[in-house]
């Protein structure tokens, strides 16, 4: 080891480099008991099985004490280059997850008699998530097959209609909704409908078997041209707030008025007792109880004072509720 001459000027104090631990480009030995930071690299991230971070090494003092004697040996030079950091591959744990989009409930299309009741939420839309199981899939397949058979029956009867895309909106929905343009009796419908096929079939039977004959009996000089509905599919609760409405399943239709070819319109409302309008309305109301399982109208309650509510919801022992 070379000795420093006694008359040599004092060596200027080296300036440490905070990032590398070097002084004026010279890499120094760490001090005794001092913590030495390892450079970032694959091992520092634990990729090669070694835990990175801070490692404790006992070495000689890194910086000379103040007033160091000129005769002391200079610090050995450690020609260790600064390692070049390697790129760290992204892994599932190192990549920040993207913000997940909110789940959207996609229930199985409603099938007749297999729709769960929901609580009295003001808005039943998206009230529950679908539980798509093999059993539910079997029921859905059976419902689709039944809908196609029903559509074939409508076509055979001479109903003019189209089929829309199935509706699925939380607890609400209609499987293959039927838009009726004209019934088999020739009576048109205003406006478009979104009905479960079995409800459309019940409507055509009621119109053919009860409404058209009752119109001829009460108004022999007139010909029934169309009826006007107030609503078919609507995603909402019942008026009583006691569960979901049958409108939310496409199984209900509200009848508001009947129009004749001469321009006469008869609304569904309370009529003068004994009048042709009253006889017509009573007759068609009685005829609806059978094709439809629920019949409500003027006199039932205030909510049905200006229309008939007709639906095919199954009742215990095949019964009906006509009030």
Q: Please give the radius of gyration of the chain, using alpha carbons only, rounded to the nearest integer.
A: 42
Look at residue 94 in the predicted model and tell me its pLDDT: 39
User: For residue 220, what are the domain limits?
Assistant: 134-322
Would you say residue 89 lies in a domain? no
Q: Nearest 5°: phi and psi at 157?
A: -75, -15
Tell me what the pLDDT averaged over the chain comes to: 74
* Range 80-110 burial, b when 16+ CB lie within 10 A, else e: eeeeeeeeeeeeeeeeeeeeeeeeeeebbbb
Would you say residue 75 lies in a domain? no
Cα separations (Å) of 282 from 102, 111, 268, 295? Answer: 51, 32, 10, 12
Look at residue 123 in the predicted model and tell me its pLDDT: 53
Answer yes or no: are the C-beta atoms of 128 and 105 closer than 8 Å.
yes
pLDDT band at 201 (very low <50, low <70, confident <90, very high): very high
Higher per-residue confidence, 121 vs 224: 224
The region, left, alpha or beta by phi > 0 then psi within -120 to 50, assigned to residue 74 is beta
Mean pLDDT of 155-168: 97
pLDDT band at 31 (very low <50, low <70, confident <90, very high): very low
Would you say residue 173 lies in a domain? yes
pLDDT above 70: residue 3: no
Mean pLDDT of 165-171: 93
Mean pLDDT of 310-321: 90
Answer yes or no: are the C-beta atoms of 294 and 181 closer than 8 Å.
no
Whether the bond into 71 is cis, omega within 30 of 0: no
* CA separation for the pair 194, 235 (Å, rounded): 12
Most distant CA pair in the chain: distance in Å? 138
pLDDT band at 315 (very low <50, low <70, confident <90, very high): confident
The two structure tokens encoding residue 301: 């309650």
Between strands 252-260 and 265-267, the pairing is antiparallel
- Percent of the chain exceeding pLDDT 90 equals 52
Higher per-residue confidence, 187 vs 21: 187
Would you say residue 257 lies in a domain? yes
SS3 24: coil
Look at residue 305 in the predicted model and tell me its pLDDT: 94
Q: Nearest 5°: phi and psi at 219?
A: -135, 75
Higher per-residue confidence, 197 vs 49: 197
* CA separation for the pair 128, 104 (Å, rounded): 10
Look at residue 19 in the predicted model and tell me its pLDDT: 42
Would you say residue 29 lies in a domain? no
Mean pLDDT of 205-224: 96
Would you say residue 6 lies in a domain? no
| Nearest alpha-carbon partner for 37 in 53, 14, 59 | 53
Look at residue 317 in the predicted model and tell me its pLDDT: 84
Higher per-residue confidence, 259 vs 136: 259
Look at residue 119 in the predicted model and tell me its pLDDT: 38
Look at residue 318 in the predicted model and tell me its pLDDT: 82
Look at residue 132 in the predicted model and tell me its pLDDT: 80
Would you say residue 268 lies in a domain? yes
Mean pLDDT of 65-69: 40
SS3 169: strand
pLDDT band at 126 (very low <50, low <70, confident <90, very high): low
Give how many domains the chain has, as a whole number: 1
Mean pLDDT of 67-88: 45
Would you say residue 88 lies in a domain? no
pLDDT above 60: residue 89: no
């Amino acid at each position: 080891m070379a000795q420093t001459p006694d008359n040599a000027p004092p060596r200027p104090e080296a300036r440490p480099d905070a990032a590398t631990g070097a002084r004026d480009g010279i890499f120094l030995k760490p001090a005794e008991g001092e913590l030495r930071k390892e450079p970032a690299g694959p091992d520092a991230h634990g990729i090669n099985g070694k835990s990175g971070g801070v490692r404790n090494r006992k070495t000689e003092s890194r910086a000379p004490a103040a007033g160091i004697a000129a005769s002391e040996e200079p610090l050995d030079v450690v020609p260790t280059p600064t390692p070049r950091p390697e790129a760290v591959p992204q892994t599932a744990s190192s990549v920040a997850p993207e913000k997940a989009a909110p789940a959207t409930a996609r229930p199985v299309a409603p099938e007749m008699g297999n729709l769960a009741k929901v609580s009295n939420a003001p808005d039943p839309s998206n009230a529950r998530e679908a539980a798509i199981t093999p059993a539910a899939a079997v029921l859905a397949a059976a419902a689709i097959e039944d809908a196609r058979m029903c559509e074939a029956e409508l076509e055979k009867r001479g109903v003019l209609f189209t089929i829309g895309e199935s509706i699925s909106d939380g607890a609400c929905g209609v499987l293959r909704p039927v838009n009726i343009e004209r019934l088999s009796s020739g009576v048109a419908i205003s406006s478009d409908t979104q009905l479960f096929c079995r409800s459309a079939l019940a409507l055509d039977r009621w119109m053919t078997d009860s409404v058209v004959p009752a119109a001829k009996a009460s108004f022999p000089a007139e010909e029934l041209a169309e009826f006007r509905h107030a609503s078919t599919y609507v995603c909402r609760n019942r008026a009583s707030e006691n569960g979901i409405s049958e409108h939310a399943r496409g199984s209900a239709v509200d009848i508001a008025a009947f129009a004749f070819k001469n321009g006469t319109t008869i609304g569904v409302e309370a009529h003068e007792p004994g009048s042709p309008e009253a006889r017509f309305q009573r007759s068609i109301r009685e005829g609806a109880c059978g094709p439809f399982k629920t019949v409500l109208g003027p006199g039932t309650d205030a909510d049905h004072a200006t229309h008939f509510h007709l639906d095919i919801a199954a009742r215990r022992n095949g019964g009906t509720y006509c009030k």
